[in-house]
Amino acid sequence: MKWSWGSKTGFWTCSVTADEMRRMDAATVEKYGVPGMVLMENAGRAVAEAVGEMLLQHPGAEVLIICGKGNNGGDGLVAARHLSNRGVPVQVALLADGSELQGNAAANFRIAHNMGVRMTQNVDEDAVRVQVSRADIIVDAILGIGISGEVHGLPRAAIEAVTASKARVLAVDIPSGINADTGAVSGVATQAERTVTFGAMKLGQALHPGAEHCGELTVIDITIPKSLTNSGTVKANLVTDAMAREMLPPRSPAMHKGDAGRVLVLAGSTGMTGAAALCAQAATRAGAGLVYLGCPQSLNGILEEKCTEAMTVPLAETPEGSLSQECLTEVLGLSARSEVVALGPGLSQSPDTATFVQQAVKSIPTALVIDADGLNCLAGHAGTLAERSAPTVITPHPGELGRLLDMTVDGVQENRVDAARRAAEATGAVVVLKGAATVTAEPGGEVWVNRTGNSGMAGGGMGDVLTGIIAAFLAGGAEPVSAAAAGVYYHGLAADIAAQEGKRGLIAGDLLWSLQEALPD
């Protein structure tokens, strides 16, 4: 999904739920005195302008605007009136009788009718299919952001007809059938080439699969006061480049390696030296001054060769070649001399190692970043995290989060933002729920949604790199949630840079080379 701002007057970085958007609309009308008709007029005019841009590439195209009976349909009626006034061959298919419309939508129906806009009311399923088959450009104004549950009846038939057509599709506010809060498809959903949304991006447009259904997304200023997006009631943020830069403390020209922070990585087991190496190397690439890699003693020689810049520390191990609880005392001494400990990549889940992890999480006095097997070893022990007083960041994928909270993967994926928030509250940690549009959540409910990254990241080792980056940012003085959100952003940006050579062949090690280009000075 590409996205842009339709106005240069404001660069909102929030992403809102349907309820938050409704409250913003209401406050605009009730507190600031902007009539609802003005908001609808601005929205519909923006849609008409977007259709006009499409017509420049397809002059003389037949435009069909399919309108439901809610405010989304009202926006479509405004667009139809403006296009008709400009001589565009536009037809409205209204999925209701005009008498069923209410409020501003009803007012705009009357205006469009009085101005002679070509319109068919009470369109049935067969008529929708016929009209869709004749259209070159379709404006989807069927359903708005307020849907819940699966789409049924005539709206479903209309969405299915649009989806099956070869016409170019522009969605009004959100593709019909996409849940504005979760991005889920409500049974069926329109696949838009472009979406014009109003006031702020909706959470479901930043999350998948909603993001793919939006196509190119433009956020339009319809005169909702910017102060409403900064009032503290909006709890979701979209991480921008400027925001990510501000999250990281500046680096002084006179700083030395001690100022850049010390990271202790506890990682690796037999067959999993790559995870340990990627994490340690990522921490060095992301700016940590000193990186220590604590690993099973039998693997020390391998990791010494793989990690030139990190200092390896051989630790007591199990017979299987993973870290043993016997190394805890040494680990506590090492951690006391480090700003941050990264725990988990490639550790294994052997019982002895799991006991070590649980004891280490309770005892390590410094900031912790926990990933992979570090989290798997804590399954059923989420309360251990909540007992920590030092900052903690956890970076689970959906399966790891599900095991930690005793949820199914589907349960996590159905509402990723809610799952991340629940985990943050349960553990007291900053939670980085990995995946397309990674979500970072802190206790209290505020979240940061990431938009960098690409499909080439669907491979082993990517999470190990992320853990190293976040640990380095923490060691360099960033606040936990800033280190996490910025770490996710630059991790994805490094992948985007590396993917310029191709996404399918992207591997985690490529990010170690592109990370330097991605990071700010």
Sign of the CA dihedral 358, 362, 365, 368? positive
pTM for the predicted model, two decimal places: 0.92
CATH assignment at residue 373: 3.40.1190.20
Sign of the CA dihedral 412, 416, 418, 424? positive
Q: Are residues 177 and 264 in the same domain?
A: no
* Structural domain containing residue 246: 241-393+424-518
Mean pLDDT, residues 186-192: 98
Q: Check pLDDT > 50 for residue 12.
A: no
Identify the pLDDT of residue 382.
86
Residues 42-93 pLDDT 10s: 999 999 999 999 999 999 999 999 999 999 999 999 999 999 999 999 999 9
Q: Check pLDDT > 60 for residue 9.
A: no
Name the helix (H) or strand (E) containing 411. Answer: helix 409-414
Of 477, 4, 62, 506, the closest CA to residue 248 belongs to 477
Q: Are residues 44 and 68 in the same domain?
A: yes
Of 67, 70, 80, the closest CA to residue 18 belongs to 70
Reported confidence tier of residue 8, pLDDT bands at 50, 70, 90: very low
CATH assignment at residue 144: 3.40.50.10260
Residue finishing a domain among 198, 233, 268: 233
Q: Tell me, yes or no, whether 408 lies in a domain.
A: no
Identify the pLDDT of residue 127.
96
Reported confidence tier of residue 11, pLDDT bands at 50, 70, 90: very low
Q: Are residues 34 and 157 in the same domain?
A: yes
Q: Are residues 101 and 207 in the same domain?
A: yes
Q: Check pLDDT > 60 for residue 295.
A: yes
Reported confidence tier of residue 154, pLDDT bands at 50, 70, 90: very high
Beta carbons within 10 angstroms of residue 207's beta carbon: 25
Q: Are residues 366 and 449 in the same domain?
A: yes
Tokens standing for 263?
């990271």
Alpha-carbon distance of 120 to 441, in angstroms, equals 47
Residue finishing a domain among 233, 266, 299: 233
Q: Are residues 200 and 283 in the same domain?
A: no
Q: Are residues 166 and 267 in the same domain?
A: no
Q: Structural domain tally of the chain?
A: 2
Identify the pLDDT of residue 296.
98
Reported confidence tier of residue 14, pLDDT bands at 50, 70, 90: confident
Q: Check pLDDT > 80 for residue 229.
A: no
HSE, CB side, 13 Å, CA atoms: give it for residue 154.
18
Identify the pLDDT of residue 505.
95
Q: Are residues 102 and 170 in the same domain?
A: yes
Identify the pLDDT of residue 216.
96
Mean pLDDT, residues 194-213: 95
Identify the pLDDT of residue 234.
76
Identify the pLDDT of residue 3.
46
Of 77, 82, 92, the closest CA to residue 40 belongs to 77
Identify the pLDDT of residue 148.
86
Identify the pLDDT of residue 7.
37
| More confident position, 281 or 230 | 281
- Return mean pLDDT, the chain: 95
Q: Check pLDDT > 60 for residue 6.
A: no
